[in-house]
A and B are shown apart, each in its own frame.
Chain A
Amino acid sequence: MTKKVIRAGSISRRRLLTTASAGAALAASSFRINLAQAQETPIKIGFPVPLTGPYGAEAQDQVRAAQLAIAQFNDAGGLNGRKAELVVRDDKLNPGEAATRTLELVEKEKVNFVVGSLSAAVQLAINNVTKERGIIFNSISQSDAINEATDFSKYTFHEALNPHMTAGAVGRYAFSKFGKKVAFLTADYAYGHEMVRGFLEVGKEFNIENLGDIRHPLGTTDFSTLLPRLQALKPDILCISNFGRDQQIVLKQATDFGVKKSIQIIAPLLSHASRVAAGAQAFEGVVGGCSFYWGIEDKFASTKAFNDAFRKMYDGKLPTDYGALGYGGVRTMLEAVKSAGTVETDKVIAALEALKYDYYKGPQYYRKCDHQSVQSVLVIKSKSTDMKNDSDVFEVISTEEPSEKSLRTCEALGHKS
């Protein structure tokens, strides 16, 4: 800092003195006592997520639930008294920004682990940085590439579902029920491409007919010029693979264009936050997948416990799908730290690999070869009637139980078995 001041040369002596005396006053104040108390540095978890931009609603849920996992860990005494801390950064849904922020988290904030991301493309950028720096990264957004040997490293974990699992589950449900003629509308980046690939792969089993795939850029606000074309194809199923605000707008506009009258709309993922932001009318009747829905609390004690803790922390609000992932990503990391008894990277990796956990949605574990969390996939349908509360937005219509069979094999991903 001093160096910079001298080099800049433009700061007056008076300004320098003021700054210096302010610094001295701060050092003498109660702030210093805090610093002295926290001699043992907290366990820091870096959390880059796109707080601003089209996925902002989901990202804020991720942060909220992650804070709950941190609070629970600290209330239970931490790691022999050592507390955990979440260091949140806005990656603006931009791979370059995410890489810079992650580097800053590693270099400047000296975080022990990184959890976060909400984009198939951005998480790969984060993964590149953490891989190189030897920092564990637990990704909480969907991607197939992150499991593949080329992007994977022993530091890479993936708590979220991947497109292969999600599209697989939704495809198996939809293609057996709604028809074989399928048209696609896809966000033109890694997430959309991977989802379509997943749908086409599972579609082979059902002999679906692919009528065409229309791609739109991420962050599109008007779909009126794409919808007539899709309607003219006369599909049984319109499969819309986009997310966040894009999903909100396209479902709203598709409803206005009367698409739902003759065509069943499906989506690989239906986001809870987007459904709330877009309203019941836009999402009505749309079928999609998700990793978590609070309504499964009747089935799993862990879900009930998670919901209750979340309600208590956030005035009766219920957690969302991506929120649950934020919670799961941070919770598994901290549980592994506890069972390893240290924050040492290699020991925590071993502890994560050994984890058989049920923290919020039923049983899960990280597969050894690619660190993908093996877990259930829920197929849900959006409701517009009989809603008991603000969060009562979906109905679980089918569940795929956790099984390595719904994942691509380790060999297919390029891992040595």
Chain B
Amino acid sequence: MAGLSFDLIALQLFAGLALGAIYVLFAIGLSLIFGMLTVVNFAHGAFYMVGAYVGLYLISLGGNFWLCLVAVPLLVGLFGLAVERILIRPLYGRGIDYPLLLTFGLSYVMVECVRIAFGKTGYPFDTPEVLQGAVDIGVGYFPLYRLFVIGATAVVLLALWLFLEKTSFGLIIRAGARDPQIVRVLGVDVSRVWLIVFGIGTAIAGFAGLLAAPLQGVIPEMGGTILAEAFVVTVVGGMGSIGGAVLAGLLVGVVVSMTSLFAPEMAKVSIFALMAIVLIIRPQGFFGRAGLMS
């Protein structure tokens, strides 16, 4: 196909970064929970889906999108707290596969419950009116809503970074991730720390689901494909590294976008090819700490 121009390549690169921002948002909660708790949360996609449905429900009750941006992470995060307290906590110290299997099963239960409550058919989710349409970004038109998603991702990342690096509670979280035993000896209630981390991780998943709803509508299975992509981002970035997840997410987005331009059939495979290459060269991912899984 002819018609490759500088503008198109620039636009494609931008589209890749925008897609990457969405991947980052998906992966960040997963990475946070793994890095701090070494829990591989297979229900991450289900929390994401629940976020979209909570948003849908709130809007049907008369709420608006902006209210949802605050309410959805709160509600999904509360749900995450309950899941950690009741289901995950008894499994700490039993090996990594216990919580993995539990969350895997939980994701099925959550999807099925949503199917029962809302039906198997999807629902439309309109883009909020002020964010509709496309704007000129210099090299071509780009949907305003996607720009908003990039901004929202940046805000979430900044807030998370400030929280972890600049607050004393963040310090405890980081210390707890390094050596829970010493932290416990120092008199800190580590289980409370983990509870809150799990809550934050799931809240971000719910937030991502809400932001994804206007991009693709709402359906019970929407968490499935996302989960695979989020895992790739997490693994490439290094399990548990938030900075790694950001870099890997953007990279995956750009790789997908550029492959789409030249060989669209390969776009889906390219993600996994990238993962394979990174793992061969650097088995722990970009910024991963070796030995976290063992």
Given A221-B225, A222-B215, A225-B257: A258 and B134 within 8 A (CB)? yes
Q: Which residue of A lies closest to B5 (CB)?
A: A232
Q: Which residue of B lies closest to A224 (CB)?
A: B15
What band does the interface of chain A fall in when counting residues whose beta carbon is under 8 Å from B? 35 or more
- Which residues, 1 to 47 on B, are CB-close (under 8 Å) to A? 1, 3, 5, 7-8, 11-12, 15-16, 18-19, 22
CB pair A226 B260 closer than 8 Å = yes
A sample of 25 cross-chain residue pairs with beta-carbon separation below 8 angstroms, ordered by A number, consists of A51-B120, A188-B265, A215-B264, A217-B267, A217-B268, A221-B216, A222-B22, A225-B15, A225-B261, A231-B141, A232-B3, A232-B7, A232-B140, A245-B219, A248-B217, A249-B216, A252-B215, A252-B217, A256-B127, A256-B215, A257-B141, A258-B143, A277-B122, A277-B124, A278-B217
CA distance A225 to B120 in the complex (A): 28
Interface digits, B206-234 against A, CB 8 Å rule (1 contact, 0 not)? 00000000011101011001100000000
Say how far A97's CB is from chain B's closest CB, in angstroms.
16
CB pair A219 B18 closer than 8 Å = no
B256 contacts the other chain (Cβ, under 8 Å)? yes
CA distance A323 to B80 in the complex (A): 39
A-chain residues with CB within 8 Å of residue B22 when the two chains form the complex: 222
B-chain residues with CB within 8 Å of residue A281 when the two chains form the complex: 124, 126
Q: Which residue of B lies closest to A232 (CB)?
A: B8
Which of A53-61, A144-152, A159-167, A193-201 has 4 or more CB atoms under 8 Å from chain B? A53-61
- Beyond A216-B267, A232-B8, 14 additional contacts (C-beta under 8 Å) are A222-B215, A224-B18, A224-B19, A228-B15, A229-B1, A229-B8, A229-B12, A232-B5, A232-B11, A249-B215, A256-B134, A258-B133, A277-B219, A278-B122
B123 contacts the other chain (Cβ, under 8 Å)? yes
Say how far B108's CB is from chain A's closest CB, in angstroms.
12
Query: 7 tightest CB-CB pairs across the interface, nearest first?
Result: A279-B124, A225-B260, A258-B134, A256-B143, A212-B1, A225-B257, A277-B122
A409 contacts the other chain (Cβ, under 8 Å)? no
A-chain residues with CB within 8 Å of residue B256 when the two chains form the complex: 225
- Which residues, 311 to 348 on A, are CB-close (under 8 Å) to B? none
CB pair A57 B122 closer than 8 Å = yes
A214 contacts the other chain (Cβ, under 8 Å)? yes
CB pair A257 B134 closer than 8 Å = yes
Q: Please give the residue numbers on chain A whose beta carbons come within 8 Å of chain B beta carbons, in ascending order.
A: 51-53, 56-57, 60, 188, 211-212, 214-217, 219-222, 224-226, 228-229, 231-234, 245, 248-249, 252-253, 256-258, 273, 276-279, 281-282
Among B124, B134, B146, B225, find the residue whose CB has the most chain A CB atoms closer than 10 A. Answer: B124
Q: Which residue of A lies closest to B22 (CB)?
A: A222
Say how far A209's CB is from chain B's closest CB, in angstroms.
12
